[in-house]
Structure 1
Amino acid sequence: MEEKRFAVLIDADNVSSKYIKNILDEISNYGIATYKRIYGDWTSKNAAGWKEVLLENSISPIQQYSYTTGKNATDSAMIIDAMDILYSNSVEGFCIVSSDSDFTKLAVRLRESGMIVIGMGEEKTPKPFSVACNIFKYLDILSEVEEQDTIENSAVKSKEDKEKDENNKLEIKAKEAKTMTDIKIIEESIIKIITENGNELKGMDMGELGSRLVKRYPDFDVRNYGYSKLSKFITSFNSLDLETELNNLTVRVKTNDVNLKTIENTVIKIIKENGEKGINMGELNQKLVENYPNFNVRNYGYSKFSKLINELNEVTIKSKGRNGCAKTVTLLKNVLKK
């Protein structure tokens, strides 16, 4: 199969030269970089770091003077070149390397033209740009992971290395909390993807699941969460099972080991603890998950939580507010007196 051709366009004003290896290594996973251009004012002292790595990585520098203070002429030059390359029909994809949200519209336009758009930038990259790409990679995290691997591969770890090891892990977790798609959202999406596109008992091929996650969340990369393999990431969730079948890895949603009658008794107990006013539908769902981590209405044959509650004999759902948007679950009067 012929590899896809990519145009790699780098914004020297917003990306450090220390990431050059990460940039080129990552793009090689998707195809061949036929264009490698970097844009900046090479008369500026800020560009000195890049000058040392351009020749050895065969990157063409594009001179762009700063015509006016406060205006970024580099962005305009990159956008113009990107459109010229697009109309030349010589590539199948673009790699836009910048932490600047000004390239959001460019990413959208390239995707509309059928291009694969891979974005790369630091963790500070605004969300609109990262989600506008097909795939987005955080360069500072990739760099940290590489440094971590180097330390772990050393024969002997010094005390300082061990401390750095722990600090890196803490930093990754801190960044995850600030900017990455929340890991809980990822877990919920995995369960939803499996149940909507297959059978939770039969499961889904791990490779296909990974592809679907990237389509939903362009910034999804297991390295963002401190893992080096998707399989390790999957097994970190209590709600999921990973099994090997005919040399294929299959992800399954763990089935509930609690029958519906037990669920009903737990619902009654929760409502009684909350008083006669009942309990909000969303809060009730959350409390059931706290009691039974693998709780999933689909495992009982329902597509909606409200439908499962409606099937319980001793509770009722009441609507409140305009258009009945707010829903509260209460006990029938005879049950409340027990």
Structure 2
Amino acid sequence: MDHNLAVLIDGDNIPSAYVKEMMEEIAKHGNPTIKRIYGDWTNPHLSKWKSVLLENAISPIQQYGYTQGKNATDSAMIIDAMDILYSNKVDGFCLVSSDSDFTRLATRLREAGKRVIGIGEKKTPDPFIVACDRFIYLEILKTKDKEEQPEVVKGKPNKKQSVDRLTPRVINFIANTISDVADDDGWAFMGDVGSLLQKKQPNFDSRNYGYQKLTPMIASIDQFEIESRENNNNSKFKLIFVRNKE
């Protein structure tokens, strides 16, 4: 059963060009029953958002900018989030912003037992990222566009594409996480590995490195060994396990 999500968007801080891919991504995590975007709609810089709101059933919330140079949406978005929290109508929140001012809000919502998914650009400060259960970069959602689609050769991303590198530090992070959930023989269920990676580092995502899924990314690294096993509960799907090579 899908979890009900409240999607709250900082219109002053997020480009409208990402809205289609962003809503598709949110749908993977739950049912967005509340969708609101905050901003000063008298400001011309939000004009591009107006054309996509109706198409995506997003409700605009007016917040006048009383002080020049200040983000007017912060207080309105935070107040609404707390009202929604106390209404107990949703299971989680999706906070769409690259602004660290929402760090405390994310922490408070998680303290109340709600799942918090953050979405923002790669410029987002670390405090907001780590305050979320999961954080997704907007830039990786645009790879569906033909001009930005990563080229894949034998399961590996083309070196020309603009993605993060699989550095020794990243590989060691994965190796340590595998060890954390491995059985006595060193094997770890891939689903458990993925869950723990995101708990340790909310912005960890295989798409940051040019891979749509975690399994092909780990399979591309010589340090790891992957094994496919029969699933007694569902013969159509295999269970994937991974371990560090000795």
Q: TM-score, normalised by structure 2?
A: 0.88
- Which residue does the alignment assign to 1:252? 243
Q: 1:65 aligns to what SS in structure 2?
A: coil
Higher helix share: 1
- Which residue does the alignment assign to 2:31? 32
Conserved in 2, the CA contact under 8 Å of 1:123 and 1:141?
A: no
Deviation string, structure 1 residues 39-85 (Cα, Å, up to 9, x no partner): 01111110000000001110000011101112222111100100000
- Which residue does the alignment assign to 2:88? 89
Deviation string, structure 1 residues 221-251 (Cα, Å, up to 9, x no partner): 1000111121111012221101112121110
Amino acid at match of 2:240: L
| Cα pair distance change 1:252/1:151, threshold 3 Å | closer
Q: 1:136 aligns to what SS in structure 2?
A: strand
What percentage of aligned pairs have identical amino acids?
51
The number of aligned residues is: 233
Q: 1:213 aligns to what SS in structure 2?
A: helix
Conserved in 1, the CA contact under 8 Å of 2:179 and 2:186?
A: no
Q: Distance in 2 between matches of 1:61 and 1:196?
A: 45
Structure 1: gaps of 5 or more residues = 154-164, 256-338
Deviation string, structure 1 residues 171-198 (Cα, Å, up to 9, x no partner): 22xxx36xxxx74333223322333333
Report deviation, 1:111.
Answer: 0.6
Conserved in 1, the CA contact under 8 Å of 2:132 and 2:202?
A: yes
Q: Distance in 1 between matches of 2:150 and 2:199?
A: 32
Q: Distance in 2 between matches of 1:202 and 1:123?
A: 34
- Which residue does the alignment assign to 1:266? none
Report deviation, 1:151.
Answer: 5.3
Amino acid at match of 1:188: N
- Which residue does the alignment assign to 2:4? 5
- Which residue does the alignment assign to 2:234? none
Q: 1:96 aligns to what SS in structure 2?
A: strand
- Which residue does the alignment assign to 2:100? 101
Q: Distance in 1 between matches of 2:148 and 2:44?
A: 31
Q: What is the alpha-carbon root mean square deviation over aligned residues?
A: 2.0
Amino acid at match of 1:8: V
Q: Distance in 2 between matches of 1:3 and 1:22?
A: 19
- Which residue does the alignment assign to 1:191? 175
Q: How does 1:134-173 map to 2 (within 5 A)?
A: 134-143=133-142, 145-148=143-146, 167=160, 169=161, 171-172=162-163
| Cα pair distance change 1:149/1:6, threshold 3 Å | farther
Are 1:69 and 2:53 matched, yes or no?
Answer: no
Q: 1:55 aligns to what SS in structure 2?
A: helix
Q: Distance in 1 between matches of 2:107 and 2:223?
A: 35
Q: 2:12 aligns to what SS in structure 1?
A: coil
| Cα pair distance change 1:17/1:88, threshold 3 Å | same
- Which residue does the alignment assign to 2:235? none
- Which residue does the alignment assign to 1:231? 215
Conserved in 1, the CA contact under 8 Å of 2:5 and 2:33?
A: yes
- Which residue does the alignment assign to 2:16? 17
| Cα pair distance change 1:86/1:208, threshold 3 Å | same
Structure 2: gaps of 5 or more residues = 152-157, 231-237
Higher relative contact order (CA 8 A, sep 6+): 2
Q: 2:102 aligns to what SS in structure 1?
A: helix
Conserved in 1, the CA contact under 8 Å of 2:40 and 2:72?
A: no
Amino acid at match of 2:111: E
Report deviation, 1:148.
Answer: 4.6
Report deviation, 1:147.
Answer: 1.7
Conserved in 1, the CA contact under 8 Å of 2:181 and 2:193?
A: no
- Which residue does the alignment assign to 1:294? none
Amino acid at match of 2:122: E
Q: Distance in 2 between matches of 1:189 and 1:44?
A: 44
Q: 1:56 aligns to what SS in structure 2?
A: helix
Q: 1:195 aligns to what SS in structure 2?
A: helix
Q: Distance in 1 between matches of 2:4 and 2:97?
A: 20
